[in-house]
Each structure stands twice: as C-alpha cells, then as structure tokens.
Amino acid sequence: MQSKILLPVILGTLLLFCISNRGGATKCNLKNIVVTQTETSEWAHGMSVYAVTVKNTCDCPQSNVMLACDGFNTTLEMDPLKFQYRVDGGLCPLNNGEPVVQGHDVNFKYAWDPPFPLQPAKSTIACK
C-alpha cells in the first residue's frame, strides 16, 4: 500500500531533478573561450605583429571554435591549423576545429593595423 504512493513521488522527484539540472546548469559556455592579444615589438611588412592567446577557462573542452574575422588579413604568414582565415571574412576556424582544452592555450601571431577583435562566435561544448 505504501509503495504505491511512494513510487510516483520518487519518480516525480527524479524527473524534476533531471529537468532542473538540464535547464539551469550548463557548466561551460562560449564566454569561457577568452581571446587576448598583445602588440609585440615585431613588425611584418610595415604592420605591427600581434600575439594572440586563446584560452579555455572551463574544464569542458570546446571544439569547432570559430572566431569572428570580418575583414581579417595579415602580412605575416600564419599556420592554418591554428587559425584559418579567409579574406571574405565571416567566421574563421581556430585550432583546425580540434578541441580547445583548459591549460592548453592556442597561440598564433598575425600582423595588421589596427588589430582585429577576433571574438569567439561559435563552438561545440563537450560536456554540459
């Protein structure tokens, strides 16, 4: 008799827990991908060289990270596996789409004047 009442209560509690856990607590988001740039003292064909560091500040890896790169261009040759730019702009893949992991920053350099904001636009988060 008692278990007939208890079972729905337990199931209901579990269901509620699942829903609230899914809705509320996304652990990491795109804001955890942090881009910092510093102007170096180097020059490339008359343009200042900028050193870019992309950091993941949360312990869920993020792959397919795209940076906004409208108008991007560089006078310094770049490794497309780090940052693949296209002069028609839009979104540029970082790290060849491979996961950006906390503690393993992605670093690259480019040269232009003025610098580009290169803000994260999109990613796939591995854990929620």
Ligand X SMILES: *[C@@H]1O[C@H](CO)[C@@H](O)[C@H](O)[C@H]1NC(C)=O
Residues that bind ligand X (CB under 6 A): 73, 75, 87
Least separation, in Å, of the C-beta of 45 and ligand X?
Answer: 6
Least separation, in Å, of the C-beta of 16 and ligand X?
Answer: 55
Nearer to ligand X, 65 or 111 (CB): 111
Least separation, in Å, of the C-beta of 46 and ligand X?
Answer: 9
Write the DSSP symbol of residue 87. T
**Strand-pair category, 91-93 with 47-56:** unpaired
Residue sitting closest to ligand X (CB): 73
Nearer to ligand X, 89 or 99 (CB): 89
Nearer to ligand X, 59 or 77 (CB): 77
